[in-house]
Structure formats: structure tokens, C-alpha cells
Structure 1
Amino acid sequence: MPDDNQVASFDPTESQWQGLQLTDKAATQIAKLMAKDSSLLGIRLAIKPSGCAGFAYVLSMATEIDSDDLVFTHQGANLYVPLKAMPYLDGTEVDFVSQGLNQMFQYNNPKVQSACGCGESFNV
């Protein structure tokens, strides 16, 4: 019988990933950002512990490739994801949406079990 106090572990290099997908709108927005800054290789999507639900998405500009990055490309736009984030992000569709005056990247993550009320954080 397993000990309930043990934490499960995994080796991310031994998994087969579905990957992440960029919608056409997300790829277009990333390509626009890349065109404005010649040092920009794409964007990086990671996660960090945060909020009441557990994790938050972290989006940053990718100006260099990290040794553990996986790259997902669509229409010339690059999305970099650290290997350690894949167990939480695998299968996610990244979209770019407009809501009123706001424009933002939106993450359709099939692994999300719950999210906080404000939408700041999620749990898998």
C-alpha cells in the first residue's frame, strides 16, 4: 500500500507530449511582436506557484533559447515552453482574444481542474 505522505515524481524527458497549439490569432500577434523587435525570437510561456488555486501563467519575451525549452511554431511565430512546465501545460491551446478594449493571450488548458474566482490562478 502506498504511503500517503510520499510525493509522486516524474521525469519529464520520459513522457510523450501532445504539445501546445497556437491559434492563427495568437500566431499573428506573436509575429507582430517579433517584427517590432529584431532581438525577439518569440514568446515564452511558463508557470509559477501563485494565487489561491496554485499556479499562474507567466508570459515573457524570448530573446534567447534556454537549454530546456521546447519550441512550438505556427505561421512563423515561436512559442517557447520550459520542459519543466510541460506536465502542467501539455495540450494547451494559446489564443489571442479581444474583449472590449482589452486584448490578451488566453490559455485553453485541458489539464485545469479548477481556477480561482478572479481567473488569476489555476490548479491541475
Structure 2
Amino acid sequence: MAISLTASALERARKFVASNADAVGLRFGVERTGCSGWGYAVDVAQQANADDQVFEFQGLKILVDPRSLPLVDGTEIDFVKKGLNHQFVFRNPNAAGECGCGESFTTDSELASG
């Protein structure tokens, strides 16, 4: 099990976490949203929950809740700049399909049951 970050994502995440004195790391997971079902959630983690899976990537802690872990395991997080837009981009081997706007994804098991 692993979550990884590109150099640009690591730099952005470190700044994001450092901007909050109480932060313990970066929280990464999913929530039900969008037209395909799952959307990524990235935020500063104020605390680690007892059931979080904690990944450490070059000194940065990434906390993932147990419900999200099977859906994001193996994901590489990147941070890209396109013109005036700056955003995290997720390369998730578990995503079998995405909505047209790219804001949400679905998995093979959801496609089979749909």
C-alpha cells in the first residue's frame, strides 16, 4: 500500500501543511460527489485518527481513512500549473472511469454493478 507525490506536489503540500501551525500532515481521501461517484478530498490534517493509515513521504505525513484507502491505494499525486490554473492531479490505478469534467471517478466494481 502506498501513496506517492511528485516533486511539485511534495513542495506544494509542504507549503500547504506549513501554513497551519497545528497541522500533523496532509489528509487525503475520497467523498461521494460528482457524476461518477467519488471525488478526491485533500486538506490539512489537524490530528491523526486511530484508524488512519499514515504514509510518510520524504518527511511529509499523508493520512488516509480506512474507507478511502482501497479507492486511493497506489495513487500518485502531482501538482500542475496550466496557464493561470494550479491544481493537484491524481494518477489513481483504481479509477476505471471519470466524469467528463474530471472532478469525480468510479471503480471497476462500481462499473460492474451499474
Q: 1:86 aligns with which of 57, 69, 79?
A: 69
Return 5+ residue gaps in structure 2 as ranges. 108-114
Return 5+ residue gaps in structure 1 as ranges. 1-17
When normalised by structure 2's length, the TM-score is 0.85
Higher share in strand: 2
Asked if structure 2 preserves the Cα contact closer than 8 Å seen for 1:27 and 1:76, the reply is no
Percentage of pairs with the same residue:
37
TM-aligned CA deviation for residue 106 of structure 1: 1.0
TM-aligned CA deviation for residue 112 of structure 1: 0.7
TM-aligned CA deviation for residue 54 of structure 1: 1.2
Residues 36 and 51 (structure 1), Cα distance of their counterparts in 2 relative to 1, 3 Å cut: closer
Equivalent in the alignment of 1:41: 24
Q: How many residues align?
A: 107
Per-residue displacement from partner, 1:60-118 (whole Å, max 9, x unpaired)? Answer: 21011111111222222221111221111111001111111111111100111100001
When normalised by structure 1's length, the TM-score is 0.79
Q: Which has the greater radius of gyration?
A: 1
Equivalent in the alignment of 2:60: 77
